[in-house]
Structures are given as C-alpha cells and as structure tokens.
Amino acid sequence: AQSVTQLDSQVPVFEEAPVELRCNYSSSVSVYLFWYVQYPNQGLQLLLKYLSGSTLVKGINGFEAEFNKSQTSFHLRKPSVHISDTAEYFCAVSPFQGGSEKLVFGKGTKLTVNP
C-alpha cells in the first residue's frame, strides 16, 4: 500500500516570496505522483503530475515539482507567489498498474499568501 505525508499543514508566506510545499511518500512499488490544488470553495484540480522521464515537472501557474526517488519525495515549488495562490495543496500517489481508484492523497497543506 502507498501512503503520503505532507510535512506542513499550514504555510504562510508573503507575496513574491518563494515557497516549497513538502511531500514524502511510502510505497513498495513504483508510483506516479501528483499535486492537486483546491482554491477556496472549489473542488480540486490537477496542478502537475510525474509519470516518467525528467524528474523536474512543470505545472500550471508557475509551479514545479521535483521527483526524488532516493528520498521518496515530490516537493512543490514556486519562485514567487501571488495572493491568488492562496489555496490548499494536496500531494497524491498512485502505483504503477493502478487506476484512479488506487490514488492516495496526503492530508493537504494550506498555503496562505499575505500582502
């Protein structure tokens, strides 16, 4: 089985500062990795995903994440955040050969961008 740990439940930052949201996973098999974002009063939407290939993945709204197999991590980064990035961010993993039913979510990190 897979598990996901998001190391910070809340991350406050100032506008235009860089941010890193940390995600570690545990799995006995190879996995696919995802970050979803939930803006206030909305459902989740896919931010980016790692399936294979380059370990640096770029997503929407200037976010990127790096897959580190040896450290079993998939941290999300943005060099300069905006007020509009205030949202909750969820890391998720799914095993190879698995479908959406095997997707496991972390507990989320609330990013608050202050002016």
The residue with tokens 């790692």 is 50
Helix (H, G, I), strand (E, B) or coil at 24: strand
Provide, rounded to whole angstroms, the least separation between the CB of residue 5 and other proteins.
Answer: 11
Neighbours of 113 (CB within 10 A): 20
Helix (H, G, I), strand (E, B) or coil at 67: strand
- The verdict on 94 binding other proteins (CB under 8 A) reads yes
Candidates 13-21, 46-54, 60-68, 69-77; binding stretch for other proteins (CB under 8 A): 46-54
The one among 43, 53, 70, 115 contacting other proteins by CB under 8 A = 43
Candidates 21-29, 42-50, 62-70, 73-81; binding stretch for other proteins (CB under 8 A): 42-50
